Structure 1
Amino acid sequence: MPFLLLVGYSFALAQPQQNFADSLQTALTQTNDQKQKLRILAILTEVVAYRDIKKASTYAQEALNIVSVPKYKPYETIAFHSLGFIEYRKSNYPQALKWLQKAEEAFNSVTDSLDISHTYKKMGMVYTRLGKHPQALSYHQKSLKIAQARKDQRGISATYHAMANVYYFKGDYDQSIRYFKESLKINRLLSKTQNRQDAIGSLLNNIGGLYGEKGNYFQALEYFHKSLKIRLKTKNKPGTASCYYNIGEIYQLLAEYNKAIGFYEKALSIRKDIGEKTGVIECYNSLGATHNKLEQPSKALTYFLQANKIAQGIQNKGELGRSLVGMAEAWMSLNAYSKARNAFEKSLRLSQQIGQKALVAKSQVGLANLLAKEQKWQKAIEYGMQGYALAKKIEQKNTIKLAAQVLAEVYAQKNEYKKAFDFLTIFKNTSDSLINAENIKKVTALESQKKYEIEKQKQTLEQTQKEALMKAELKQQKRLRRSAIFGLSMSFLLVLVILLFFYYRYRVQQRQKWNQALKNQEQLKRNAVITAQEAQQKKIAQELHDGVGQLLVALKLNLEAILKQSQGNQSQKPWENAFQLLDKITNDVRGVSHMAMPNLIKSDGLVMALEHLMEKTFGYHTIAYDFEHYNLQEKYIEPLEINMYRIIQELISNVIKHANATKVSLQIYQVEEVLYVRFEDDGQGFDVQTMTSSGVGLLSIGSRVDFLAGDINFEQEENGGMVVNISLPLKQPMHLEVKDGRLAA
């Protein structure tokens, strides 16, 4: 029984796919650059195809419309690739191959090598599904060479993942495990600097599936549960459903059908919730197959019918064929031969169309079995021989066994006893082979369980010993700590005094050097200072406009009151107010000086600075927040980073002051040469026309966006709340010039 192996995980980011798709959709509507739009459409096609194939098809068609314009014809590779991927998701592999071959032919010097690398990888995936494993490995090797040349560790990891799938479908499980583990090793290294938890969870899930295929069921369960732990921690619902589904497959193999049904239903519930239609079909088909094994054909039929309906809707021909075979078998058990024949015939036509040989053989043998029950001997022989020959060619033993059994019975009915005996012998030999294989799996499972339990006991014993040693060591450390603490304290004080002495001497020497240097440079700097004052005064005025200006007005009013009262009875209250206001002004000036330059940007970069800002602002606040970023560079030019930081800072301030929100969401991502920002809150919203014309804070945001040659858009949600979308080009205008070896405003 095949487990759910994920073919790739290019978009398994640390974020919900729906949010990512929404962000891409926003970027798509905001750009007028057709080349950039083509790139976004290609990404959207692959992200959306896993849950809504019809919508993904519209994206692929839109990409094709763009490259139909002569000006964009050199970029045909991207559009053809997307159309090939759509056909792949529909299980229409011959048509998928045609589009991908066109993408390969259209590749030229204008197209990025990453595009052809992705095409090679998809061609390998298609050849895998067509059972042409040498061709699949050849194309994956081409993709791997490009990724290695680019030193693209994520690309190398993804190609190893795809190659592992080839060996899985080829039946070489040891090689498949090897490549999955190579991919896992790379992702664990990448996880030190990137969020790769979803990719690691995917690989653990796949390795578990392979151990299940080998009959190491308890080792498989161990990997599935490791994957499940990561998926639950990262709140990855598709991954969680995949783990539940595969655990159900293990329990079905162990003939623990009720447990299997429980896990299938957990997977089904999640997949319904997130709208993952392909996964829903898989669950319905597996539930139907399990109820068939429990000899509950009526209940099995309800699941197969639901799977069939959804599969037709999303054009998933592979799962549609699987549901048709399951329905036919259930109807045969219910003696509804006419309906069974109709389902088998549909499955046969469909499987021949998409090139799924295993399903073709199963449908042919199923028809032969049905025709034998109806005593249509000649037709039964025709279909039975066809199914037997194909099943033998692809080494599908269960189908060979059923075909031989049907043919032996039919030839016996026709009094052709020699042929009946020959097929009865084939039936017996195949049955013995399957029994031996099943016994080997059971023995392997028992050995795996024993080894697993011994390892657990060993780990428990080692943990107990470690805890005992740690307790003894802690007691010893406490005694040593008490005896050494006085000496360490005195040593520390002595070192501190010495350091202070040398530091004082160093400061005196440095001050003398600086005074001399300042005298020499004073004349040279005077002109530069005069020029810089104008820009600095403007910046200080912008920072101080909210607090200090109002406080100075209030101080003036208090001083006027004092002046008036000095002519009559004097009072101390105005003086007290004046001093309080002066203290407030002092605190505000100090706060602004700290805010003048966010040093964390220089040391750790924009992302760390923003994470610090969000945590500092909302960490102890009633407002919940989430911050997502992807495809960002480690560093950008200084004016871009500082102004971006100021923009986010002002948006957060507006939310706290005006929005009355309970949740804030910030997304930042880069597509080609454009940086996109999406800031969203669920507050009470505001009148954009009024606020942008009168709000100094929003005018400040607009000024900074204009300074960076970007665009800003405010949208008020129907149910309240505000969404701010900002796009900033990375190719900055000429007013950002090079000074002292770096870009500065």
Structure 2
Amino acid sequence: MMLPIIQYEYLKQIYEHMQDGIIIMKESREIIMLNPAAKKLTGWQIGEDVPYCSFCMTRNNRVEKPSCYLIANNEVPAFLSQMPTYHGKEIDVEMSTAVIYPNSETGETEYLLVLRDHAVRQQAHEAALNKKRIGELIEAKESEHKRLAQELHDGVGQSLFSMSVALDAIESYVHENEKLTNYIGEVRQELQKVMGDVNAYAHQLRPHSLDQLGLKATLEILIEKIQKNVPELFIELTTQGLDRCDPAVEINLYRIAQEALHNITKYAKASVVKIHILKNNKQIFMKIEDDGIGFDRKQLRSEGLGLKHIEERVNQLNGTCVIQSAMNEGTSIDIVIPRWRPNT
């Protein structure tokens, strides 16, 4: 029965464009057909015999009549082995076979042989493991930052505050001793400076406002501090639909903005920075752009690590990150995050 033309063309497109190698061979292992992926993977040609894989080569040394393990054992759904190619190398492949046409005229059965490059699959598996490890490292780092920030705020901060109160009490007893009162005043000033430093360190480790007020308020606090230190830089933050997000999204987007602003203040020589965040029912968009001197990323060295860290954080949220820059044309970072939920 002939297939309709449309159906035939559809199957032909699948055959020619799928990534797995598809080979039609006789029981004698002569190749009748093979798709482009099979040619690229193996270098074999129609009319040649499919060589035995490394497993069968070893296996056939122990039997009188050489045979293919997959053909001899039709119940095997898939099989891992090494297959020799035209250039003499062996590639790791996952193989499977199926009977597709018992030819009554020749008495020979034709088989479908499917080859999948196991190295590609292994690389994908390793990439997934690396992504998981990076995610675990980032999560562990943020958890430790949160713990340390809490310890600084509740432990060291409270102890310093108690010392300040104690100084007030001591001063009330020695107010008539001008020299001692002045000394206590100097100690109090130094103590206030240390308390300010502790609060700043705690905020850098993990902004307390992120858990209490959310991403927008925390970014506003960050921007206010940067503009106090760099008054010639104008930073504009606009948001749309940005309510509370998953904690992992909030901390990662905050760190991305923090890293980007650090790079801008240190390297970009910009006068204006615009940060826009939009959240809808499907995605979260974040755009950070400046009018600085720009850069050629290929020439970056240590400065490029910040951009790499941004990309890693976006990758952990299964998002996309496009960083565009050119000399004297500024820089833009466009990030898209799906409505993210942690993996279960």
**TM superposition score normalised by structure 1:** 0.20
Higher relative contact order (CA 8 A, sep 6+): 2
Whichever structure has more strand as a proportion of its residues is 2
TM-score (normalised: structure 2) = 0.41
The structure whose residues are more often helix, as a share, is 1
